[in-house]
Amino acid sequence: MPSQKEIEAMVPLSRALELVDGMRKAFYSSLECEPVPVQRSLDRRLASGVSARERSPRFNMSTVDGYAVRPADGYPLRIIRDVYAGDRNKVLLGKGETVYVATGAAVPAGADAVLKIEDVVAEGDLIVSGPSPGQEKNLVYAGSDFEAGDVILEKGAVIGPPAICVMSAAGVEDVPVFRRIRVGVLSTGDEIKNGMVRNCNAPMVCAMLQRWGCDAGNAGAVPDDAGETKAILDDAAGRFDVIVTIGGISVGKKDYVVSTIMDGGEVVFKGYRLRPGKPLLVSYYKGRPVFSLPGKPTGSFTSMELIVKRFVLGDVRQPSVAVRLEKDVGVNAGDFEHVVYVKLGHSTAVPMGYKGSPLELFPGPQYRVSLVSSSTRAIVADGYFLARESMKAGDEVIVTLL
């Protein structure tokens, strides 16, 4: 355990992300992988690159309905047969011969182009005139998508529908993906344990983890008690790959998460210069990465979105949009970044603050729910931007979309 003075505390967001990226790299380097059938691989993360088992297309394929012709052949051409998509017969084209090929059909050996049916003049089984053969190809060559052995997907890629299409075309049946990360979500506080306050954070956190492809499970609720806090953390470390705790990380007399981790774990950083969410504690406990979120939904949601998502998904492209602020945003001076949730208008962003915060109040009775919890604000929020200083209506902001 590092001594207190070695602990990084109240780090800037950039440093927090750097530390989380390091944790992420170490974590994935030891995460097991498993094979899954391509058709059930949606949203899984590739544990290694994927190579084509066979080439695509498998044969020279016509892209039009028309007549396959040899290079440098002239008219007239005799139509010797019709070939449709799915016809397996091997046809070899002789001099002065052509075949009708439907879209998707195999172009006969010897042919190098397909004349569109509408561009030629046919008389009986003869084509008497048409464009100069070879001017337009109208075919795709075997292997022009990829050859057998070509790498078609890189390690670490998250599998989307197009990747499933390509792997299917490449004859790939099973694909090696990282095992789903098991995350235990642990709630703290007498008020949660005894039901005086409803546990709204844990279901939200589980849902976010589920969106990111994790197996999220409830690891239980623990009252404000040092022994029970340690017992439930020990239990979670044995059952889960990663632990998320909620609440109990302030400086209050009854906050036991921090002290338990300081005693038995290894702090990565304690607090970061971001509001909301600044008390976030990131650590290892019995070798498991632990993200300890503040108890207010506002801080929980924000730290999940900025920090835990980064750990799980990495530095992925976040859809964003540049818009003008519709109202002033006042934030406290100082070396903090502020996550400002906004509702997007046509090309403007309305900031969503709450009473008592340095942000301006978002207007309208339908947003009363915004007064306390940012997670409820987030129901109507379209995204957020980061503010280091107060801003004026009309300023441009880059809104990261939720």
**Distance between CA 237 and CA 264 in Å, rounded?**
12
- Regarding 142 and contact with a copy of itself (CB under 8 A), the answer is no
Please state the closest distance from residue 264 (CB atom) to a copy of itself, in A: 24
- Regarding 8 and contact with a copy of itself (CB under 8 A), the answer is no
- Regarding 343 and contact with a copy of itself (CB under 8 A), the answer is no
Stretch that binds a copy of itself, among 27-35, 121-129, 134-142, 389-397 (CB under 8 A): 134-142
Q: Which of residues 271-290 bind a copy of itself (CB under 8 A)?
A: none
- Regarding 214 and contact with a copy of itself (CB under 8 A), the answer is no
Q: Which of residues 160-189 bind a copy of itself (CB under 8 A)?
A: 160-166, 168-169, 171, 189
Q: Tell me whether residue 20 or residue 352 sits nearer to a copy of itself (CB atom).
A: 352
Of 88, 84, 90, which is closest to residue 66 (Cα–Cα)? 84
Please state the closest distance from residue 369 (CB atom) to a copy of itself, in A: 5
Hey, how many other C-beta atoms are within 10 angstroms of the C-beta on 290? 26
Helix axes 257-264, 226-239, angle to 10 degrees: 60
Distances (CA, A) of 18 to 15, 175, 262, 395: 5, 30, 21, 29
Of the candidate residues 12, 57, 76, 358, the single one contacting a copy of itself (CB under 8 A): 57
- Regarding 140 and contact with a copy of itself (CB under 8 A), the answer is yes
**E strands present in 313-382:** 320-325, 337-344, 348-351
Joined tokens for residue 15 = 């440093």
The distance from CA 366 to its chain's CA centroid, rounded to whole angstroms, is 31
Burial of 245 (0-12, 13-18, 19+ CB in 10 A): buried
- Regarding 118 and contact with a copy of itself (CB under 8 A), the answer is no
**Distance between CA 119 and CA 183 in Å, rounded?**
63
Q: Tell me whether residue 1 or residue 226 sits nearer to a copy of itself (CB atom).
A: 226
Q: Tell me whether residue 231 or residue 321 sits nearer to a copy of itself (CB atom).
A: 321
- Regarding 316 and contact with a copy of itself (CB under 8 A), the answer is no
**How many chain residues bind a copy of itself (CB under 8 A)?**
88
Q: Which of residues 87-116 bind a copy of itself (CB under 8 A)?
A: 87-88, 102-104, 106
**Distance between CA 105 and CA 94 in Å, rounded?**
19
Please state the closest distance from residue 6 (CB atom) to a copy of itself, in A: 27
Of the candidate residues 254, 324, 388, 392, the single one contacting a copy of itself (CB under 8 A): 254
Q: Are strands 97-101 and 182-188 parallel, antiparallel or unpaired?
A: unpaired
